[in-house]
A = this chain, B = another copy of it.
């Protein structure tokens, strides 16, 4: 397994320099998140992830989860690591102090969770799902529900799940069959079967709180008839502890391509006692309120696995001796040169570096919007942040997981044949990453959300909210001595982005299939432009630091070189995506379905 070292220098560069989180936290009144506190949290988080979680990543993959008669055993060390995590105060870092949390901003929680998922993605699923359940209860639960559930969840004594998918429906939740029948005591009897339930059953906590989508007997058809229920594994007793066993059991666990140490469960509800959360038939809305956070988290898996892969690949490329540089031996005293001398190996490494660092910047930029949306008292600022968040979330989820998959595949390729061997750990990163473009709404669904719901659904307003920021940046830095060429390239693309959107919007007025035909290429096109903007923000700071003789000159030169690489070798991919968008729906739809397999 490649050793993991938290990229603290890069994280600090974004936090201290590029996005000035300190001013951001101060403006939001998040005074607990002082600069010292932020740096201390990152350093301590790094130690925990490097020393506790990373060593369990390979063994967790090999061992997987065991299912035996309804019980799930997680791999050796997972339970102990969770106890340490809870003890260290990591679990409640960004949770509400009213229920025992530390109340630090979401963005700081996300920075820590980057290190968690980079060192052990499977393990990170258990607290990750719990945080999702906590958000839902926090946003929609009654005071009594919050008191009952949030306190032990925040303390990490209990964990949580999200139970949405059924065997016959994932994307199309309107089709769910799980039923909830009202009982005399005000509770509901929940009956049905859910699949793909991460952390549905395991041995890490005293109780598991399931959030379950189900239909009331009189519910309208489709997505407007779905309600959300709390279904605990053990019903809380009078003292608030795990009491009587409820009628929910794990039927089996899935055998998967990757994230093998994350238990993916079939959960059977057999008249289980459930408690309605939020309003009847508004369950899907309850889910949507926490979607931004969950989708950003899933997008980050692309960044995290990409970072782990990059670290392994750079080390290997410096160690592995093979062939001589075509411009003359670089290590003449050794039998061959380290493969990092070869341009094509560098192409792979720089592609990885450019996507990872760009995706990290996207994560931090978006996380700031998340903070503002949660914490700001300025309604206009909050609304603006929510709009940006709505626009950026599907891009984060889909672009970061697509590129994360590309990155992990490059990392494996750098290792040659050894990359295919499990022992080296590089192929695990590809397998673990492969789920990210699928779950939490497939990337196809993200693309429809971006183009159909967000961009066209707002008559372009959400897009303009972002292109305006880019435009201002380009105006402010037009003619920049070192970066002016790239600024001009971004400015042009930023304008073409609007034109392309108008083209698709016009076509979609006549034929709704134009949206689905364009959507994935439109999302990728958008993602490349978003990253170009963020790369220039980083490069501008690096250039200024260099000129001022501040910071680490080597680090700044690395940033500038990677920015140049991004603009010259990755950003031109927008041309291919634009052409695909312009091709329209006709060449997709004209072939009758039955002729595909001839």
By a beta-carbon cutoff of 8 Å, the part of chain A in contact with chain B is 9, 165, 168-172, 175, 195-196, 254-258, 311, 314-315, 317-318, 321-323, 325-327, 335-336, 338, 340-347, 349-350, 353, 405, 409, 412-413, 416-417, 419-423, 427, 430-431, 434-435, 437-439, 442-444, 447-448, 511-513, 515-517, 519-520, 552, 554-555, 557-558, 561-562, 564-565, 568-569, 572-576, 579-580, 583, 585, 587-591, 593, 595-598
Q: How far is the CA of A412 from the CA of B369 in the complex (A)?
A: 33
Asked if B596 and A353 sit within 8 Å, CB to CB, the answer is yes
CB contact under 8 A between A596 and B558, given known A438-B417, A442-B413: yes
Q: Which residues of B contact A417 (CB under 8 A)?
A: 165, 170, 195-196, 438-439
Closest to A591 in B: B561
**Could you list 19 further interchain pairs (A-B, Cβ under 8 angstroms) beyond the known A343-B585, A569-B583?**
A165-B417, A171-B322, A175-B336, A256-B427, A325-B513, A343-B516, A343-B519, A344-B516, A346-B589, A346-B591, A413-B444, A420-B434, A420-B439, A431-B431, A555-B598, A557-B595, A561-B591, A562-B591, A569-B579
Asked if B520 and A344 sit within 8 Å, CB to CB, the answer is yes
CB contact under 8 A between A596 and B340, given known A417-B196, A565-B587, A580-B569: yes
Q: How far is the CA of A409 from the CA of B433 in the complex (A)?
A: 12
Task: Determine how close the nearest CB of chain B comes to the CB of A581; give it in whole angstroms.
Answer: 9
Asked if A444 and B345 sit within 8 Å, CB to CB, the answer is yes
Q: How far is the CA of A586 from the CA of B31 in the complex (A)?
A: 46
Q: Which residues of B contact A169 (CB under 8 A)?
A: 322
Task: Determine how close the nearest CB of chain B comes to the CB of A219; give it in whole angstroms.
Answer: 15
Asked if B565 and A318 sit within 8 Å, CB to CB, the answer is no
Closest to A340 in B: B593
Asked if A583 and B568 sit within 8 Å, CB to CB, the answer is yes
CB contact under 8 A between A171 and B588, given known A427-B434, A431-B257: no
Asked if B434 and A593 sit within 8 Å, CB to CB, the answer is no
- Taking each of A422, A430, A438, A552, which has the highest tally of chain B beta carbons within 10 Å of its own beta carbon? A438
Q: How far is the CA of A352 from the CA of B287 in the complex (A)?
A: 34
Q: How far is the CA of A446 from the CA of B527 in the complex (A)?
A: 31
Asked if A9 and B572 sit within 8 Å, CB to CB, the answer is no
Q: Which residues of B contact A555 (CB under 8 A)?
A: 595, 598
Task: Determine how close the nearest CB of chain B comes to the CB of A344; give it in whole angstroms.
Answer: 4
Q: Which residues of B contact A420 (CB under 8 A)?
A: 256-258, 434-435, 438-439
Q: Can you list 10 A-B contacts with CB-CB less than 8 angstroms, sorted by A residue number?
A: A171-B416, A255-B423, A315-B597, A343-B585, A344-B448, A353-B596, A413-B438, A416-B442, A554-B598, A576-B576
Q: Which residues of B contact A573 (CB under 8 A)?
A: 576
Asked if A255 and B421 sit within 8 Å, CB to CB, the answer is yes
Q: Which residues of B contact A427 (CB under 8 A)?
A: 256-257, 434
Q: Which residues of B contact A175 (CB under 8 A)?
A: 321-322, 335-336
Asked if B327 and A513 sit within 8 Å, CB to CB, the answer is yes
Q: Which residues of B contact A256 (CB under 8 A)?
A: 420-422, 427
CB contact under 8 A between A595 and B336, given known A344-B519, A512-B327, A588-B343: no
Task: Determine how close the nearest CB of chain B comes to the CB of A158; give it in whole angstroms.
Answer: 26
Closest to A405 in B: B409
Task: Determine how close the nearest CB of chain B comes to the CB of A340; give it in whole angstroms.
Answer: 5
Q: How far is the CA of A561 from the CA of B595 in the complex (A)?
A: 10
Q: Which 4 A-B pairs have the closest CB atoms?
A: A572-B579, A343-B516, A326-B512, A257-B427
Closest to A520 in B: B344
Task: Determine how close the nearest CB of chain B comes to the CB of A258; give it in whole angstroms.
Answer: 7
Q: Which residues of B contact A172 (CB under 8 A)?
A: 321-323, 336
Q: Which residues of B contact A517 (CB under 8 A)?
A: 343-344, 347
Q: Which residues of B contact A437 (CB under 8 A)?
A: 413
Q: Which residues of B contact A593 (CB under 8 A)?
A: 317-318, 338, 340-341
Q: Which residues of B contact A597 (CB under 8 A)?
A: 311, 314-315
Q: Which residues of B contact A590 (CB under 8 A)?
A: 561
Closest to A256 in B: B420
Q: Which residues of B contact A170 (CB under 8 A)?
A: 322, 416-417
Q: How far is the CA of A169 from the CA of B337 in the complex (A)?
A: 12
Q: Which residues of B contact A416 (CB under 8 A)?
A: 170-171, 438, 442
Task: Determine how close the nearest CB of chain B comes to the CB of A375; give it in whole angstroms.
Answer: 33
Closest to A431 in B: B257
Q: How far is the CA of A558 from the CA of B597 in the complex (A)?
A: 9
Closest to A452 in B: B326
Closest to A5 in B: B597
Partner of A314, one of B323, B344, B596: B596
Asked if B513 and A326 sit within 8 Å, CB to CB, the answer is yes
Task: Determine how close the nearest CB of chain B comes to the CB of A117; give it in whole angstroms.
Answer: 17
Q: How far is the CA of A353 from the CA of B597 in the complex (A)?
A: 9
Partner of A430, one of B341, B434, B587: B434
Q: How far is the CA of A579 from the CA of B255 in the complex (A)?
A: 42
Q: How far is the CA of A58 from the CA of B517 in the complex (A)?
A: 34
